[in-house]
A and B are shown apart, each in its own frame.
Chain A
């Protein structure tokens, strides 16, 4: 038989699978009413447990209160010293991660299933009987200030800081800016107050993934289900008013590059326009093949990377575009961003480009729900937006049906440069 020569110009056939169904996680409720959402799989040995407290820095009465409270959880309890906590976690080869974001604080434990029993009592002690000792606090505060001072010099941090202040408003929980002087003002009793009021069962949700069975659930209930505290002092959220627009330049002498952030407030996840806007964002700047990336990196070579994204916080959603570029290509980059906005508003997207973006999104969607750990991570984000995996799948299916006309209409409705704030940090006048 004659061997046929391979025709490399012929692309292999591409198949689409959008018939994806996904169940919500199972729910188990601890004795103290903490809901535990869990996704189980026997394929792995690792268990990931995430405790979420509505204790982010948006709830601060004084700057650093929430951040320091979260950090101090592992700096000593009535049963364990800071060193004991660190060495026990390491002894069992586990990972403990505590982060404080704007809306929530997260205590995440990842460990082999066989070690869970030894580790949960430590977690319990941290969330129910942390001691907030002055000595550890001073030491930690001092160390943290040093990291802050370094971070504060990074162009990206400077840009984010000024952008947040202007877009959310200076005296709102999202727009409050941390200064090094805040490190002098914070006192240990602010932390214990915050702890008593926010690290409570009625302020907590648990999301868990891995080889979860009844033993694991019972273990969780034994350890985390019997602490009781009431959340008495909830802070109400200050609304954002009149976000800034126009352009602000922040001078940074001798900078080789400028960091540019452009953005505006947009709709929350549940809004009927969110699905369209999400697709618009992907086309515009949301992936490597986006218009911003193709034009400004791949065609002009102005930057190592440019992207846009939608940040969905609980009280505000913001769309933003971010790029670092050489000082001399700062204005040309701004001009190209403007051009791309005009194009997406004035010209209908081709069927080919739309198909490409949708297909890319299918892969991305499959990736986001691949395996229980990813599903749990995905569910966490959705849960915090008051949604769930079902709506995620529904939204994905809706996205697949969006027409070029709808996309253009969405661009005209939301992508108006006049309504956006531009912050440029660099060697600019």
Chain B
């Protein structure tokens, strides 16, 4: 059980405090409720670009990293479609330094020309390194727009195109900061050997006088229900052919989220999974298969990825895969397989509760969903899933007209 206290400052900034006395370090996690789904279609990649700019210095902390390193701290950040997350850990005696630097960049980020231009280059190099200069690097750049036609999940967090990063103006950037980097759009979680009273004192001192901003009201165009199968066929200079399939599932807070997650594990997580046993070991159609869900807040995807055996035609591989999927819809799983993935989920959660950084991050993510209690109730949700729930979600999800297929061929 992860116990936590909660308080909210008058400017709307929420704090969650979890006490863990077993460690000399304290972790601070700040989640801003903005991700790439909140971008304009013609100005994508800004949320992630902005994450980089948050390290470019603020009015009283010209170099964000320097005071943190002086205090023995370490930090990093990530952005996805839904949120932007900043986290640090620091020896507990120096926790006030964390309050100082984090509050200063929430209050008055400098956004100098130098910082913008340098980080623009860094992000462009990141785009190239991750998506363009690697074999199979562009798969996600293809899959997202194939799967989503209306909802902003149709583009990747890095952006649709390098030109969007190149063309982002100082005005775009300043507007983004004012709109999203405000106390009433953020949540702070602190985990470590700390007292809530003391954290509240420091929170008031450093974050208390940051003015709140206009509350952002998210109003995203929902993805219309897919009505027919979609297909994309590309050829690249790669050694092995890959089949990628996506099916639409519900959102993070929908009733069948946990069943969809377990279904993906039953299908393709690990060597005892159904698709591995059948398609890799027995039929030898694929050399590797994998299935998982995206875990997005808005309705997400169940993903299948299979590396086609070199001596098998990609069309044939898909045919065998489709037959297997059909048989899964007829009888999705057994109670043994369901117990297996539940047990795995239990260990995975025990893993995640080891480090304070993970606990603070998970608490922040749950709190951002509006349900901080989820950090403790998630295991119950998984345990309560019945065979019939898996069957229902399989029948509803794994159907042709809900499916997007990518053939990633090799120009052999």
For A256, give its contact among B97, B117, B119, B133 (CB under 8 Å).
B133
A246 within 8 Å of B (CB atoms)? no
Q: Is the CB of B206 within 8 A of A363?
A: no
Please tell me if B195 contacts chain A, counting CB pairs below 8 Å.
no
Within 8 A of B (CB), among A1-29: 6, 8-9, 11-17
Q: How far is the CA of A301 from the CA of B238 in the complex (A)?
A: 30
Q: CB-nearest residue of chain A relative to B122?
A: A301
Partner of A304, one of B25, B122, B342: B122
Whether B174 is near chain A, meaning CB under 8 Å from some CB there, is no
CB proximity of A106 to chain B, nearest CB, Å: 18
Q: How many residues of A contact B (CB 8 A)?
A: 70
Residue of A nearest to B93 (CB): A15
Binary CB contact string for chain B from 140 to 178 against chain A (1 if under 8 A, 0 otherwise) = 000000000000000000000000000000000000000
Main SS class of interface, A: mixed
Residues in B with CB closer than 8 Å to A82 are 271, 281
- Cα distance A300–B125 when bound, in Å? 12
Q: Which of A85-123 contact B (CB under 8 A)?
A: 86-87, 89-95, 110-112
Counting contact residues on chain B (CB < 8 A from A), the size range is 35 or more
Chain A residues within 8 Å of B354, by CB? 44, 46, 371, 373
Which chain B residues (260-314) contact chain A, with CB distance < 8 Å?
270-272, 277, 280-281, 284, 287-288, 307, 309-310
Q: Does B395 contact A (CB under 8 A)?
A: no
Expressed in whole angstroms, the Cα–Cα distance for A109 and B93 within the complex equals 36
A422 to B287, CA, bound (A): 36
Query: Given known contacts A14-B70, A150-B238, A359-B69, is B118 in contact with A301 (CB within 8 Å)?
Result: yes
Are A255's CB and B104's CB within 8 A?
no
- Given contacts A91-B340, A142-B287, whether A83 and B277 have CB atoms under 8 Å apart is yes
- Starting from the known contacts A6-B206, A304-B122, A304-B129, 20 additional A-B residue pairs (CB-CB under 8 Å) come to A43-B22, A44-B354, A90-B270, A90-B272, A91-B343, A93-B347, A139-B281, A146-B288, A150-B240, A154-B135, A257-B129, A300-B118, A301-B120, A302-B125, A326-B128, A359-B72, A363-B25, A363-B91, A366-B24, A366-B72
* A–B complex contacts, Cβ < 8 Å, 25 sampled: A6-B209, A8-B100, A8-B104, A83-B281, A89-B272, A90-B340, A91-B339, A92-B343, A93-B346, A93-B348, A110-B351, A112-B346, A153-B135, A255-B133, A301-B121, A302-B125, A324-B133, A325-B125, A326-B125, A356-B70, A359-B70, A367-B74, A370-B25, A371-B354, A373-B354
Q: Which residues from chain A sit less than 8 Å from chain B, CB to CB? A: 6, 8-9, 11-17, 41, 43-46, 82-83, 86-87, 89-95, 110-112, 139, 142-143, 146-147, 149-150, 152-155, 255-257, 287-289, 297-304, 324-326, 355-357, 359-360, 362-364, 366-367, 370-371, 373
